[in-house]
Amino acid sequence: MLQPNILLTSTPGVGKTTLGKEHASRSGLKYINVGDLPKEGQLYDGYDEEYDCPILDEDRVVDELENQMKEGGVIVDYHGCDFFTERWFHIVFLLRADNSVLYKRLETRGYSEKKLQDNSQCEIFQVLYEEAMASYREEIVHQLPSNNPEELENNINHILKWI
């Protein structure tokens, strides 16, 4: 049997990268941060000046990941999830953070006021939860709290047990 493929999704700043890298080091699964792919493979379709970030060419990203996903054993980290092929993932973990925690994390990153507000609203209105529920079978979508180091450790243990 193939190793499982796991999707970590959340609003930026909630803890996907920290969880994904730590989980990969403990489980031996391969970690892929989709946000890094455009830089590595020129998989973007322009630049968003307002949000100061590249615009992903989602079709090219899917093409780039296809073979790795077929092999299995991959943890994918990205804030969006509706463009990934549903068959790729055995389980989806949506990380959640209290808005006060999230705001401070994003502020520390130097996000613009607009980016702070938009990401905070995304978390408050559960935009990514709704996206995940619309994109994947309900039984494979799980929410995990991600406010502090204790929750990080609990989440890693929870995912390791699931594997």
Residues 6+ away with beta carbon under 8 Å from 43: 37, 56, 57, 60, 61, 64
User: What are the distances in angstroms from CA 81 to CA 21, 50, 93, 107, 157?
Assistant: 19, 22, 11, 24, 23
pLDDT tens, position by position, 97-152: 999 999 999 999 999 999 999 999 999 999 999 999 999 999 999 999 999 999 99
pLDDT tens, position by position, 55-102: 899 999 999 999 999 999 999 999 999 999 999 999 999 999 999 999
| Average pLDDT rounded to a whole number, residues 27-41 | 88
Look-up of token digits 């999707």? 7
Task: Say if residue 153's pLDDT is above 70.
Answer: yes
Helix, strand or coil, per DSSP, at residue 55: strand
Q: Give the global pTM.
A: 0.94
Higher pLDDT pick, 2 / 64: 64
Task: Say if residue 53's pLDDT is above 90.
Answer: no
Task: Say if residue 37's pLDDT is above 90.
Answer: no
